[in-house]
Amino acid sequence: MQLKIYRRSTIILSIVMAIDILAIVMLFKTSALWRENRLLVIFLFILGTMAIMMAYTWYDLNASKRLIMRKVRRGEVAMAKIIDGSFVRFGRDAKFKNHVYWKLNVDIIDNDMNWIRTTIIEKFATEQTKIHPGFVFVTYDEKHPENSLIIPNMIIASIPEYKPLVDDYEKAIHPTYLNVYYKVGLVVEDYKETMRKEKEYKKWAEEIDRQAEEKEKEREKENSK
């Protein structure tokens, strides 16, 4: 599904660029008609171009998030067990930030506890260099399970209506959850990896604070001389 969104976004960008080029050509051909008001016309053209690009950027950065939220509101949610994954390709968003696509082999467990083996393609942050096996929540369409999208944990946790469903899965499957959160694409990792990153960040923050304190002490010594 993520590749479909990416291709759709690329097509929209091509249309936007074609419109911009056509508009520039038309402006040049009709320059005799607007020469006296050229500053206003050029300003409006630039303003219109910026507005179109901002609208495209908003769409490109939010298309998958909006689709996930729409499906979650409809109750189209299931659990999935990630088995393994393989690299597909790199991509770039409207802000020229890189991301990476992985193909995942998964078992989707629907709300009746039926297991469906399929493959999905998901958009990840570039720091996702390997795929961890484990359980995540996904959007689910029983007619097209291959279009499932991984749902960040905080979305499910923030909706009380999903607690009974989560409890049913935990009683039936006893899942080992993966930590799923969003950057420029998803990051999916086991909680040990998350804890390791948090410890490294804490050490880094403490080192920055220590260096700042030492510099402050040095300034105080210089000022006291």
- DSSP symbols for 145-160: GGG--EEPHHHHHT-G
DSSP state for residue 37 in the 8-state scheme:
G
| pLDDT digits 0-9 by tens, 57-77 | 999 988 889 999 999 999 999
Residue pair 138/148 in contact by the 8 Å Cβ criterion: yes
The pTM for the full model equals 0.77
Region 22-48: mean pLDDT is 83
DSSP state for residue 178 in the 8-state scheme:
P
Closest to 16 measured CA to CA, from 42, 44, 51 = 51
Whether the predicted pLDDT of 199 surpasses 70: no
Edge-first strand order for the sheet with 150-151 is: 150-151, 134-139, 77-92, 98-109, 115-124, 185-189, 179-183
| pLDDT digits 0-9 by tens, 152-185 | 989 998 999 999 999 999 999 999 889 998 887 8
